[in-house]
Structure 1
Amino acid sequence: MRALRAVAAGALALLPCLQAEPAAAWDRQVERGRALARRECARCHAIGRTGTSPLPQAPPFRSLHERYPVDDLAEALTEGIRTGHPTMPEFRFDPDEAEAFIAYLKSLER
C-alpha cells in the first residue's frame, strides 16, 4: 500500500510538468504565427486583439473566426491564397508556418 501511495504521489508531482510542456509548445506556435502575421499581413490587416485594419477592406484577424472556421485556411495558406481583390498579394506558407499562423488566429478567439 505504501508503494502504491509513493507511486501515486510521484505521478501527481509530475503532472504540472506534463501539462506545462504542451502549453509552452502552444505558446511557441502562437508566437511564431504572430511573427508571420506581423511580417506578412500587418500592412493591411489589424492582426491584434484591438485596432482597425490599415486597409479598410482587409478584415481584422480577430474577427476571421466569425466568418468561417480558421482551420479551413490550412490548405489555402499552403497552396497560395488568392482573393477577388487585386490589392492582396498571393503568398504561400509552408505547412509548419500555416499551422503556426492558424494557432495565432485561434488565440485571438479567446
Structure 2
Amino acid sequence: MTTAACSPIAEADARTADDPVALGHEFAVTRCASCHAVELTGLSPNPQSPRFEAVVNRPGVTQETLVPWLDNSHNFPQDMNFEIAPEDIDHLAAYMMTLQHADFRPIPQ
C-alpha cells in the first residue's frame, strides 16, 4: 500500500483554509491594502482610509461590534464601490482584532 505525500504548500493551504485569522489577513492584503494600512506599521496609502490598527483600538471595539461595522463601512457609493461577503467579513474581523493592543498610540496620517 502506498500513501500519497502532501506537499508543504498544500499543507499550508489546508491550514490557512481552516484559520479565520489567516484568511482575514489574506483578504486584507489582497483587497484592502491599496487603501488601508492593514499591518501594525505603516500609513494608509489613501490618507482618508483609516489604518486597521486604529479602527480596532477605538474604545468599545470587539469582534461583535466590528462585524456589523465592516458590513456597513463601504456603503458609500459616491466614494467607492466595494462589498465584502459575509464570510469574508468574519475572517477580516478575526484578523483585525489581532491588531488590538493595550499600548496603542495613534500615528498621525
Please give the range of the TM-score, normalised by the shorter of the 2 chains: 0.5 to 0.7
- Counterpart in 2 of 1:19? none
CA distance in 1, matches of 2:20, 2:98: 10
Equivalences for residues 21-100 of structure 1 within 5 A: 28-67=19-58, 69-70=61-62, 71-78=64-71, 81-83=74-76, 86=79, 89-100=80-91
Identity of aligned pairs, percent?
Answer: 30
Structure possessing the higher radius of gyration over alpha carbons: 1
> What stretches of structure 2 of length at least 5 have no aligned partner?
1-14, 102-109
Q: How many residues align?
A: 84
* Contact 1:80–1:91 (8 Å) recurs in 2: no
Amino acid at match of 2:100: E
- Counterpart in 1 of 2:93? 102
Greater fraction helix: 1
Taking structure 2 as the reference length, the TM-score comes to 0.61
Q: What RMSD over aligned residues (CA atoms) do the two structures have, in Å?
A: 2.8
